């Protein structure tokens, strides 16, 4: 029997065209994409499509979009061998991260892809991205199991783990990287899979579960020289948040001024979950290297290790949605749940 894939089209540059009036890029009807990529018909596959209505520029993606995506996948999970999500590049790493935590017992590929140039323009990167994403989502190992049973991003010849990826360029075709995690596959003449890095599907056949109760009371504070007490207080002590991701310097360092540490300690006393993620693209947080990091740890801040900010956000939304107890969230946040940190 032919393998079957579901192409979920959410929007993004891959399916946009220029508005003749204001010359901005706007999404167009999905049937246009299939017309533009007749190569898809050459695969011996059944490819069905699900189109979001309305189509969205991915800067409009929000947690409801993720919930909708998980529902589309859950409701059709048994009907398809794999899923491809066509998505704008701007927030693709956020969406792929969130879905990795929202889809439990995943045993089939969910491959996100998009493009830097619309699919209808001659030099588009969209065709190769889409065609290879299709091949990857349909590919099976010698035992007939899906080759990549996880949420990932395919872009510019590289398959990356979704919750390790980050957008690194607004212009280059090589727009995504996962600096703290080797690529899962690389497309050359053949698609070469890095099998030791690919997560295994659950041993027994467990039904897909979804975690669609998200608690979004999280904010992100990026430290910078000259940051003021008023700004730090606003982020860390706001009654609106349960958790704050602090984007720190280097290996997890922050100012040592008493005013800063006092606010951190007060937030900790209030029961806030404070998470330390480095601003560096590569490497991990280790709060025991420098005194300025150790002070944060002593004040109750927990390590995000080598997590991306995108992944820390999705992980917190899911954990907060699931547990009322902040201490439990802190504990689970520091554990590896689906390949998002190196332990």
Binder among 36, 50, 81, 90 for ligand ASP (CB under 6 A): 90
Tokens 């990795």, residue? 100
Q: How many C-alpha atoms does 156 have within 13 Å on its Cβ side?
A: 15
How far apart are CB 258 and ligand ASP at their closest, in Å?
A: 42
How far apart are CB 310 and ligand ASP at their closest, in Å?
A: 14
Set 13, 51, 70, 166: catalytic member:
13
Q: Which two tokens stand for residue 213?
A: 């109760």
Which of 56/274 has CB closer to ligand ASP?
Answer: 56
Q: Does 89 engage in binding with ligand ASP (CB under 6 A)?
A: yes
Nearest-angstrom CA–CA distance, 179 and 168: 10
Which of 95/253 has CB closer to ligand ASP?
Answer: 95
Of the candidates 89, 86, 79, 143, the one whose C-alpha atom is nearest the C-alpha of residue 111 is 86
Check: CB of residue 25 under 8 Å from CB of residue 17: yes
How far apart are CB 61 and ligand ASP at their closest, in Å?
A: 8
Whether residue 13 lies in the annotated active site? yes
* Residues 8-37, mask of contacts with ligand ASP (x by CB under 6 A): ---xxx------------------------
Question: What values do phi and psi take at 113, rounded to 5?
Answer: -155, 170
* Residues 45-84, mask of contacts with ligand ASP (x by CB under 6 A): ------------xxx-------------------------
Q: 243-248 and 218-222 as β-strands: parallel, antiparallel, unpaired?
A: parallel
Residues with Cβ within 8 Å of 113's Cβ and at least 6 positions away in sequence, in order, are: 14, 84, 85, 86, 87, 129, 130, 133, 153, 154, 155
Q: Does 128 engage in binding with ligand ASP (CB under 6 A)?
A: no
Which residues does the annotation mark as catalytic? 13
Which residues of the chain form contacts with ligand ASP (CB under 6 A)?
A: 11-13, 57-59, 88-90, 114, 116
């Amino acid at each position: 029997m032919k393998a079957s894939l579901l192409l979920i089209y959410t929007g993004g540059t891959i399916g946009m065209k220029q508005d003749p009036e204001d010359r901005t890029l706007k999404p167009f009807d999905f049937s246009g994409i299939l017309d533009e990529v007749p190569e898809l018909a050459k695969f011996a596959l059944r490819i069905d499509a699900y189109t979001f209505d309305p189509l969205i520029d991915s800067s409009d993606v929000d947690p409801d979009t993720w919930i909708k995506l998980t529902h589309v996948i859950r409701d059709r999970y048994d009907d398809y061998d794999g899923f491809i999500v066509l998505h704008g590049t701007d927030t693709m790493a956020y969406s792929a991260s969130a879905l990795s935590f929202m889809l439990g017992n995943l045993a089939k590929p969910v491959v996100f892809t998009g493009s830097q140039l619309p699919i209808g323009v001659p030099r588009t990167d969209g065709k190769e991205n889409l065609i290879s994403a299709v091949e990857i989502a349909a590919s099976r190992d010698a035992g007939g199991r899906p080759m990549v049973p996880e949420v990932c991003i395919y872009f510019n010849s590289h398959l990356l783990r979704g919750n390790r990826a980050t957008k690194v360029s607004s212009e280059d075709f090589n727009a995504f990287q996962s600096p703290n995690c080797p690529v899962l596959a690389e497309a050359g003449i053949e698609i070469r899979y890095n099998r030791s890095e690919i997560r295994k599907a659950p041993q027994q056949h467990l039904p897909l579960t979804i975690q669609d109760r998200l608690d979004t009371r999280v904010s992100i504070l990026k430290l910078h020289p000259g940051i003021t007490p008023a700004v730090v207080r606003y982020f860390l002590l706001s009654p609106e948040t349960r958790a704050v991701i602090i984007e720190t310097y280097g290996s997890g360092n922050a100012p040592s001024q008493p005013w800063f540490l006092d606010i951190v300690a007060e937030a900790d006393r209030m029961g806030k979950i404070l998470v330390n993620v480095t601003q560096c693209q590569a490497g991990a947080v280790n709060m025991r290297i420098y005194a300025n990091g150790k002070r944060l740890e002593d004040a109750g801040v927990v390590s995000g290790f080598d997590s991306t900010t995108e992944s820390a956000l999705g992980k917190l939304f899911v954990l907060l949605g699931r547990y009322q107890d902040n201490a439990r969230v802190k504990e689970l946040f520091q554990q590896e749940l689906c390949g998002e940190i190196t332990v």
